[in-house]
Chains A and B, each alone.
Chain A
Amino acid sequence: MAKKPPTWTDIKTSTQDNVIWKSIFRPGSIYRKGYRDTSRDRALAAMNNVLYHLHPVKVKRHGLKLTYTYCLGGLSFFLFVLLTITGIFLMFFYRPTAGAGAELAYLDMQNLQAAVTFGNLVRNMHRWGAHLMVFTVFLHMARVFYHGAYKPPREFNWVVGVLLLLLTLLLSFTGYLLPWDQLAVWAVTVGTEMGGFTPVFGKQVQFVLLGGVVIGPNTLLRWYVLHVLFLPFVTVIFMAVHFWRIRKDGGISGPL
């Protein structure tokens, strides 16, 4: 008699019941063998998950209501992750070089849109996602204000949040220059001219930001490094503090 083919349950059991699987998924993981929908396993699923860095085991019930948070903070973070992923993709095809006879940035942009598989789609997602993130971060701030969630004990986390809004604007603005087209260069010209009016050291600020007195190849390289390394690095640190403080300050605010 021929051996019976394994059933779906057999495959599931043999996949889950081995050392490798068990080393990846900690006890309580919903992917472990024997997960049951009990209070104990629900608590373990949160505790034994990397998301435990973000979420406690239990959250206030009123915070689940979509109209309380509109998920704005979470979506801002999601968009940041999405922008990181699409941004890394774009970095493979982009060189931050400009100047007569070596307009590589602009050529790479053209090439990205015309010749790279999914290049145009990913670029679109990066651009629209960035605009959307500015918008969600802004709305998140308004939501937090209207819930009075900036009040003690959350007053410091509100400060971190305002800095994150500022960082989001800077991330978006530095990225704005990178296509090196007319729109990019002149928008940044308008923006940096305003910075030049800073009292006392305005011209110095402008010079450091532009890498010269006017926008040129140096500016592009500087803003590229700011955009892909410096500002994301700072933002990640501030986000870590922001998320940590949410939990330390007693979780989500309210109920009102």
Chain B
Amino acid sequence: MSDEVAIDQAVYDRLISEGKSERVARAKAKAATVRVKRAGEGWDIGPRAADANAAKLSEFKANVGGSGGGTATATAVADAPTGRLTPEERAARVAASLGQGNDSPSMGVPADPKHTHRMLALIPPSGIQQVTDKQQDKVYTWPHLLIVEFVAMLAVGALLLIVSFFIDATFRELANPNLTPNPSKAPWYFLGLQELLRYFHPMVAGVTLPTVVLVILMAMGYMDKNPSAKPENRKFATMAFTFFLIMWTIFTFAGSFFRGPGFNWVWPWVDGLFFEL
């Protein structure tokens, strides 16, 4: 609406004198102008019009809707003198075809030509889909996450390239099944296990213990009933896992750097390193 609505000066002055703010007074004065204009054009507005509509509705329900559906509708249609349905008849017909009961909210609404909507379903206030996700603080994957990942990738790739340029991978003499090197060691990630071999029977150190550790690790999500992820709420879990990590690191370090010929204990700063990657 581009037309500026004129202010009803009398209403405006009265509201100002009642102590209303200028903004409220102006708005109400404009509304008054519109009301007068529409009343002149024959619009039904305001509470009185609503009352009239409600009265019409209850009258209609008493006449048509009361007997509930088919019969009334048939009568209404048969009685129509012109062959053209009155708005009431049309509404009744629609109601009957939808098989609605009398208590249905749209039953018997007089079919106002301007009033074309009808109820198809009742939607609960919570909506049809249950949304369980909480609103979270999120950012777009592109560019935020992808750039971080890309930089991390480049950094590690570059690091690996530089290391590989300067340090050659180990390559010894041809395999000889008749010549056992002393010491012979497993790859570094198994040296913790090899260290355990010094203390336990091979079945325990090489099979039972790793299996038990793996099974416990996998079962952790099912065994740990504490739902909290906050460090202060899971001191025992943190402590137990840290203990496990430290033990494992100690065994791996011992097997890697403190075991020499015959897999006997050595001090690396005295006897040198017996460790190859």
Q: Which residue of A lies closest to B140 (CB)?
A: A42
- Cβ-based interface call for B170 (8 A): yes
Q: Are B139 and A58 in contact (CB under 8 A)?
A: yes
- Cβ-based interface call for A4 (8 A): no
Q: Are B277 and A57 in contact (CB under 8 A)?
A: no
Select which of A113, A125, A202 is within 8 A of B161 by beta carbon.
Answer: A125
* A87 surroundings in chain B (CB, below 8 A): none
Select which of B149, B164, B190, B194 is within 8 A of A173 by beta carbon.
Answer: B190
Q: Are B140 and A61 in contact (CB under 8 A)?
A: no
- Cβ-based interface call for B220 (8 A): yes
* A180 surroundings in chain B (CB, below 8 A): 174-175
How many A residues touch the partner, as a band? 35 or more
How many B residues touch the partner, as a band? 35 or more
* A131 surroundings in chain B (CB, below 8 A): 188, 277
- Cβ-based interface call for A238 (8 A): no
Taken residue by residue from 134 to 156, chain B's Cβ proximity to chain A (1 for < 8 Å, 0 otherwise) reads as 00111111111110110011001
Q: Are B167 and A128 in contact (CB under 8 A)?
A: yes
Q: Apart from A59-B139, A185-B175, what 7 extra A-B contacts exist at CB < 8 Å?
A: A49-B142, A58-B138, A71-B152, A124-B168, A145-B237, A145-B241, A202-B207
Chain A residues within 8 Å of B, Cβ to Cβ: 30, 39, 42-43, 45-46, 49, 51, 55-64, 66, 71, 74-75, 78-79, 82, 98, 103, 106, 109, 113, 120-121, 123-129, 131-132, 134, 138, 142, 145-152, 154-156, 158-159, 162-163, 166, 169, 172-173, 176, 179-187, 189-191, 193-195, 197-199, 202, 214-216, 253-254, 256
Chain B residues within 8 Å of A, Cβ to Cβ: 136-146, 148-149, 152-153, 156-157, 160-161, 163-165, 167-177, 179-181, 184-190, 193-194, 197, 201-203, 205-207, 214, 217-218, 220-222, 224, 226-231, 234, 237-238, 241, 245, 276-277
24 of the cross-chain contacts (CB-CB < 8 Å) are A46-B141, A46-B142, A51-B141, A51-B146, A55-B141, A58-B139, A60-B137, A64-B148, A74-B153, A78-B153, A82-B157, A127-B170, A128-B167, A131-B188, A145-B237, A172-B187, A172-B189, A183-B172, A183-B181, A185-B176, A186-B185, A190-B194, A197-B206, A253-B229
